Structure 1
Amino acid sequence: MLRAVEAMIDEAPPEQGPRRFGNVSFRRWYGILEGRAEELLRGCLPDAVREAWGDGVVEEVKAYFLGGFGSAQRLDYGTGHELSFLAFLGCLWKLGAFRDEQGREREDGEAERSLVLGVLEPYLKVVRRLILTYNLEPAGSHGVWGLDDHSFLPYIFGSAQLARPITESEPMPLEGSVPGAPRPSDVVKPASVDLHRESNMYFSAIGFINDVKKGPFWEHSPILFDISGIKDGWGKINKGMIKMFNAEVLSKFPIVQHFPFGSLFSWDPDPEAAVPAHSVHLASQPSSTVNPPAAGGGSGTTAPWAEATKMPGAAPGVPPGPGIPYSRAPWTRGVSSAPTAPRGGVPDTGPPPPTTFARGTPGTASNQYTVTKAPWAKD
């Protein structure tokens, strides 16, 4: 099915010429997908499922499927669309589409691993081609304050690939890595990213960032850069990623407002649920757009398991949240990170950055500036 979806790109080539926002040919591609969606879904839903649930289930699953490939109206793609495709797979799971020939669910975890590596990773590759072909905008991006402009799931599953193995009776690993795993700090080394991007989803996502963004890694992806300094292994990173996904995707109204609810995924409010905490995205905004933190709220959701410095220049009465780790910028080594006397309302964070850097080959991961290597990572 994913191969058929990708092949439709050739039927709707992008319009030529420079443009600031998404290519309008994406709407034509999306129209082709929409017209063939029901046929594709009937091909992947077993006959027994359609007989048991009726044809209405196809329409319900279709909404999640189409939502997983971006917005034809806004010409964008983001974590909400990624969530929609995850829900599509969840629907198929609940309908029994992944059971064995005897109709039984497998208990060895093989089905789950096959879904992640055999479906989700190929799906992400299709999406990345869509983004590059039609220049899709990030949907609701927080800029450098977000983990990634487009995706979140590959960081969860990619870190799980590298976390130490556990038995059925063990809890989720809080630290440690599988033997021979690359170090978290290797994500800022282009050669290491190129080496592991074909076998690990975390490094594959980092590699795509390197393909589409220029400049120092710590500058355009500060949260990922901050996470790369964790010393306790991929287990801790995986646990933190799951917490962050819950806070930054599942608990965000701008994302959930587009999520359809029905018989397979129903809306059931939890009366015992805690009030969501304000994230660093709100805490870093001007005072006119920031609400006071809710009582009992947390300390922000940007990589809560990683150490970071305070964001300078916070509005009066608003606690500063964790922000870009200024003291870890390569040119501030040896310079105190403590803010000095305010100048124009913003504390002085040190000398200005260098104006020139050595570059790699354009269009490849090596295009990162050479100073992006984490200062604490030694060859």
Structure 2
Amino acid sequence: MDPPPLTTSPNPTTTTLPRLAILQPSKTHPFQTPSKRIHTAADLPHFLSSLAYRDIGLFLLQLNRALCPRKQQQQQQQATPSTSSTTTTTTTNPLRLPPRDPPARQFTLDAPRSDPPSVVRLRDLLSKLEGFIEEVPPEKGPRRFGNPAFRRWHALLEERVEGLLREYLPPEVLQTWGEEGVLQEVKAYFVGGFGSKERMDYGTGHELSFLAFLGGLWKLGVFGDGGGGEGEVERSLVLGVFEPYLKVIRRLILTYTLEPAGSHGVWGLDDHSFLPYIFGSAQLTRPISDSEPMPLEGSVPGAPKPADILKPAIVDRLRTENMYFSAIGFINDVKTGPFWEHSPVLFDISGVRDGWGKINKGMIKMFNAEVLSKFPVVQHFPFGSLFSWEPDPEAAPVSGGLGTQSPATGVSGPGTAAPWAQATKMPGSAPGPGIPYTKVPWTNTPRGGGAPGTGLPGAGTVPVPRGGVPDTGPPPPTAFPRGKPGTASNQFAVTKAPWAKD
């Protein structure tokens, strides 16, 4: 199949990043029933040079950049002093300070928005799904993971999905493209976004499926009813659809005790989700103008510090505003004990000192390496016409025979950065195979004032508790069972995260 024609944004001079293609309306579009194409790890190189991989990356970057704070337009006031007051003004006001820049425009979860009807309809659809939980209460009895009632909830979703999509997708879009073809394709990604009824689990692969559902609707022009400035529709999608989707997922996890799908346990970023950390860190990066690229370091003035995720009171206050803190809040809801113990990677990230822009850049790299480039995660992703298995003609070849490690890193042989990384200035994937990992702050960062790498406080300084801050629990053990960072010692093979300094 020929690659879909790319369309430009209405005002292409206002952004440095391309946007995901919106297909030209055609009732003869060759819709396909999405099917499994990644059967073994040997299929990963093909995926990493496919049109689907390119389009997923473009859409993710498009949403990510839309959440970055924006600089406000400086209002210039022209002063016209009279000739009679010139001498007096110069004498009494010798300092002519420029006016202060207005506060940056930030995009928070609780800020008022004017969402387009298409977004409102999708949010209503998610509310309808959440109501299914009342129809299928969990079975009684102690279970650590997987209440069998989830299988009935999921069966109810599969039974009603076509009727729901007919009800909540814009009728004009279904009429333009043909109802049968649209439902044939998008329902696979929609159902796939709500976990596995066989394994009774949920993870980043299911989250990726829901992202593809939104991306497929974007391609079909579903969100063409949105107006406003640059990135307005994308912000509505993330804050008005994706965050409500996460709330439904979190209720499903709590109600049916869903098992983490393919989780690295405490050695992964999060048991269930990844994207809220990307979008949430983007909300706090250094402000940009519409013509600037995504910042790679820095934070918006007044932003919380990365280490504030370790303070439950601050997390509770910010979880209604920011997606990163909302995800941390859910971890606090379901896990007990010291944060460094159950979420060591997020704990390590809390020590980053170069701002939320650096964290966002690292999250993008890690998502590429640990979600899109990992066979256990993407093996269930289905391919059709909207996310095509066909090769991207502009992608560099990816070498095969890399097993389950990240093929895009080129560690075990020649490789290539993501095609959309080259096209959009997106950071490449994280170096090295295995689980993403940073050097822990108490061995890599002089948090107590000592020399880097010693973990010892310097002379004349007040040492910070080895847990990071006083309310993170007891100090971690001196012999942590993860081995030396970047090696395969002990029981875990780990790599430095992208934000870790060499």
Q: TM-score, normalised by structure 1?
A: 0.76
**Out of 403, 406, 413, which is 1:295 matched to?**
413
- Structure 1 residues 278 and 333, CA gap change in structure 2 (3 angstroms): farther
Asked whether 1:78 is paired with 2:196, we answer: no
The one-letter code matched in structure 2 to 1:229 is: G
The one-letter code matched in structure 2 to 1:9 is: I
Measure, in 2, the Cα distance between the counterparts of 1:135 and 1:33.
18
**Out of 154, 167, 176, which is 2:276 matched to?**
154
Correspondence for 1:19: 143
SS in 1 for 2:354: coil
1:317-362 CA distance string (max 9 Å, x none):
xxxxxxx667379xx9999978xxxxxxxxxxxxxxx9xx9xxxxx
Asked whether 1:40 is paired with 2:164, we answer: yes
**Out of 298, 301, 312, which is 1:190 matched to?**
312
- Structure 1 residues 78 and 124, CA gap change in structure 2 (3 angstroms): same
- Structure 1 residues 326 and 138, CA gap change in structure 2 (3 angstroms): farther
Give 1:32 shift.
1.2
Give 1:34 shift.
1.2
- Structure 1 residues 276 and 111, CA gap change in structure 2 (3 angstroms): farther
SS in 2 for 1:39: helix
- Structure 1 residues 84 and 296, CA gap change in structure 2 (3 angstroms): same
The gaps in structure 1 that reach 5 residues or longer are: 284-291, 309-323, 339-353, 358-365, 373-379
**Out of 101, 113, 134, which is 2:256 matched to?**
134
Decide whether the 8 Å contact of 2:267 with 2:435 is kept in 1.
Answer: no
Asked whether 1:96 is paired with 2:200, we answer: no
Correspondence for 1:360: none
Asked whether 1:246 is paired with 2:378, we answer: no
Measure, in 2, the Cα distance between the counterparts of 1:68 and 1:198.
23
The one-letter code matched in structure 2 to 1:167 is: S
Correspondence for 2:294: 172
Measure, in 1, the Cα distance between the counterparts of 2:284 and 2:402.
31
Decide whether the 8 Å contact of 1:244 with 1:303 is kept in 2.
Answer: no
SS in 2 for 1:99: helix
Give 1:45 shift.
2.2
Decide whether the 8 Å contact of 1:145 with 1:223 is kept in 2.
Answer: yes
Q: 5 Å matches for 1:115-130?
A: 115-130=237-252
- Structure 1 residues 189 and 303, CA gap change in structure 2 (3 angstroms): farther
Q: TM-score, normalised by structure 2?
A: 0.58
Give percent identity, aligned residues only. Answer: 67
Asked whether 1:261 is paired with 2:377, we answer: no
Give 1:143 shift.
1.1
Measure, in 2, the Cα distance between the counterparts of 1:190 and 1:269.
47
Measure, in 1, the Cα distance between the counterparts of 2:312 and 2:259.
25
1:150-174 CA distance string (max 9 Å, x none):
0000000000001122122212101
**Out of 334, 348, 356, which is 1:212 matched to?**
334
Give 1:276 shift.
8.5
- Structure 1 residues 83 and 262, CA gap change in structure 2 (3 angstroms): same
Decide whether the 8 Å contact of 1:223 with 1:302 is kept in 2.
Answer: no
Give 1:275 shift.
4.3
Greater relative contact order structure (CA < 8 Å, 6+ sep): 2
Decide whether the 8 Å contact of 2:207 with 2:273 is kept in 1.
Answer: yes
Give 1:175 shift.
1.0
The one-letter code matched in structure 1 to 2:272 is: H
Measure, in 1, the Cα distance between the counterparts of 2:153 and 2:312.
33
Correspondence for 1:30: 154
Aligned CA RMSD, in angstroms, stands at 3.3
Asked which structure has the greater CA Rg, the reply is 2
1:7-46 CA distance string (max 9 Å, x none):
0001000001102320000011111111111111112322
Correspondence for 2:232: 110
Measure, in 2, the Cα distance between the counterparts of 1:95 and 1:246.
25
Correspondence for 1:369: 473
Aligned residues: 318
Measure, in 2, the Cα distance between the counterparts of 1:223 and 1:273.
32
Correspondence for 2:186: 61
